[in-house]
Amino acid sequence: MRLFYPKSFLTLILAGFILVALPLVASIFHAALSADRLAEQSQKAMREAVLATQSSWMLAEQLTTMERNARQFVVLGDPALFDGYVTMHGKFRETAAKLAGLKLDAQQRRQLDELAAGEMALFSSLASNAHDSRTSRVIVDDFIPLTALAQAISADSRRLIDREADTMQHMAANAQRMLALETLAVIPILLLAGVFTYLTTRPIRQIDAAIRKLGSGDIATPIAVNGPQDLENLGRRLEWLRLRLIELE
């Protein structure tokens, strides 16, 4: 069976080089892309985990300040204290909204919704009964479960960093396995390089054998060179030379 060859020997070499190098370039590009994606995802996940931890800690601190202002207002009746409570309430809502925009698990989101709803209900009740000190004292006690809930959110946020670290470790292990598979893919590439080496050297060996036979006086064996067109042309020239030697003899 006759193999397919390009027209020139140089084209054969270039085609072999491209076919051998292309999978290697694709493998290197894929490895670099995977590493870049892993670094980007890791940085984003860790940044969100840190922001979640900071925001949950701020929620607990703001809630503590709100409770202190509310209790002082109930005892002292100073409107400035209630104004401070209202201001801190606005900051609390902003922090809660910022935390809600981050990547949270189902439990954290449920706790955050419960905390935001409870704080809003407490604020509305306290604002409606600001002039009733007895009722206000009862309402202020509702800060206690809210504070416990805020502390639970803060603790879960700290654990979120550990979970993200485990996730990044898992992603790194997957990337390492992928690189190992790509390394194994080099084996068939090397085999392909061997095939092209054979295709490249085969016509040269045929020409060398033909010249040796002519030099040793063997002009009875026909000369045939299989390969690129320019090398086949050289083989036909050698065959012409063989026939001419027969005629001269």
- The rounded distance, in Å, linking the Cα atoms of 86 and 143 is 15
Q: Rounded mean pLDDT of the chain?
A: 77
The answer to whether residues 27 and 185 touch, using CB atoms and an 8 Å cutoff, is yes
- The rounded distance, in Å, linking the Cα atoms of 92 and 116 is 9
Cα–Cα distance list, 107 to 74, 116, 154, 162 (Å) = 34, 14, 12, 16
pLDDT in tens, 196-214: 777 777 877 888 888 888 8
The answer to whether residues 158 and 53 touch, using CB atoms and an 8 Å cutoff, is yes
What average pLDDT does range 69-91 have in this prediction?
Answer: 83
Q: Is the pLDDT of residue 35 over 80?
A: no
Tokens of 61: 């601190």
pLDDT in tens, 103-153: 777 888 888 888 888 888 888 887 777 666 666 666 677 788 888 888 888
The pTM score is 0.52
The answer to whether residues 136 and 123 touch, using CB atoms and an 8 Å cutoff, is no
| Helix axis angle, 79-100 to 106-128, nearest 10° | 160
Q: Is the pLDDT of residue 75 over 80?
A: no
